Structure 1
Amino acid sequence: MGNVHFNLNNSAHLGGMAPPPVPGGGFGNALLPGAMFGMAGTYIIVNSNSNNRYIGIANDIGTRFNTRLATITETGFLPAEMARIGVTWGTTTCQNTPPVFGVAPAPVIAVPAPPAAFNALIDGAAVNLERLLIRFVITQLGAGGTVSNNAMAVAPYANPTANPITVRLTWGAMGGLYMAGFHQAVWNVGMFNAW
C-alpha cells in the first residue's frame, strides 16, 4: 500500500491580513502569518463564517498569499472578519508500496511547481496530489460545507495506481479556530472506489 501524507502542520488565522483602520481614514500595516515566505507546499484556507474551504499549492506560499493583501484592503475586510478565516499549510510526502520482501522505500517530499500540475509518481503512476487533496476533503473529511476549487472539485478521482494508497491529512489549529488533528483513509483502486 502506498502512502500520501499532507502534513499541513503550520497554521494561523488571517486576521493580520486585514490592515486595521487608523484615524483620518487610512489603514495600518497588513501582515501575513509567519513562516509562509520561502516555503513551497500545499495549503487549505477555511472560512469558519461560511464553512468553505479552498485548497491550493504554491512554490512560495508567502508570495502567493501576499498577492491577496491588496484585495482584502480594497474590499474593506475588517481584522475581526479575517480572524474567522484560518489557513493551514505544509509539505506533502509520498511513498511507494513496500515490496513483499525487503525494505520499504523512504517517503519522498513532493514539491509543487505551479502552474504545472502537482503530480507525484506513486507505484509508477502519476497521482495529481492537489486533486487528490480536494477530493479527500470533499468525500472523506466529513466536515461538510463547500470547497471553492471548482475545476477539480466536481469529478470523482480514481486511484490511478495498481495498489491502495493510505491518504493522511494533518492540520494545525488555525489560530485557535479549530483543534489541530488528522484524518486518514484508504483510497482503493478502481472507479467504484473513486473519491
Structure 2
Amino acid sequence: MSVMSKVERAFCCGALWRTSTGAVVRSLPATVLGHDVLEIGSGSGAIAEQLAREHPETTVTATDLDPVMVSAATQRLRNVGNTSVQPADATALPFPDASFDSVVSCLMLHHVIDWEATLREAVRVLRPGGVFVGYDIVRTPVATAIHRLDRSPFRLFAPAEFSAQCAYAGLNADTRTTLLDHVLRFEVRAA
C-alpha cells in the first residue's frame, strides 16, 4: 500500500471530502455494519468520525499506512469515544481472523497496487456473515489522467475485474457504478 502524495493528503483533509462524508456514510447499509467496524485506508478519519457519530452503537477502528494520515485521524478522533486509530497496511492487516462485523473502504483500493491482497485481507478479518463495503474510483480515461498528473502510485480497475476477482475468491459481490460510471459501489460477502 502506498503512502499518499501531497495532493491526495490535501484532498483527504480538505473541505470537499469532509462535506461528502455524510452522504457516503448514509449510503452504507446500517443493517450490515454490525458492532465492530474496520475502516481501511481511513485517511484523515472523516469517514470513521461520521460512522461513529451516526452509529454510536458501533466501535470503529480506523487504519491507514500513511503516518501523516494516521496522525490526522488520531487528532480528528481524539474526542470520539467509540473509535481507535492505528497504522496498518491493508494488504497485511494486523488483526486476527474474524475480528470485525464489517470492513469499510472509501476511495482507497485503487491506491493499493495489489488490491486483490486487500480484498483477501478484508474478507479474512470479517466474522461469518460480515460484509466488505464501500466505494472506489474505476478505470476511466479521466481517472487515469488525474492520477498520472498527481504521480501517485495507483492501479485502477474495471468493475468487471473487481467482480471477477471476488468470484475467483469465492465471494459474492453486489456492485453498481455511480457518478457516470466513474465510481464503483460494492458489498462483498463470503459465498
TM-score of Structure 1 vs Structure 2, range by shorter chain:
under 0.3
Question: Higher helix share goes to which structure?
Answer: 2
Higher relative contact order (CA 8 A, sep 6+): 1
Q: Which has the higher Rg, Structure 1 or Structure 2?
A: 1
Give TM-score, length-normalised by structure 2: 0.27
Give TM-score, length-normalised by structure 1: 0.26
Question: Higher strand share goes to which structure?
Answer: 1
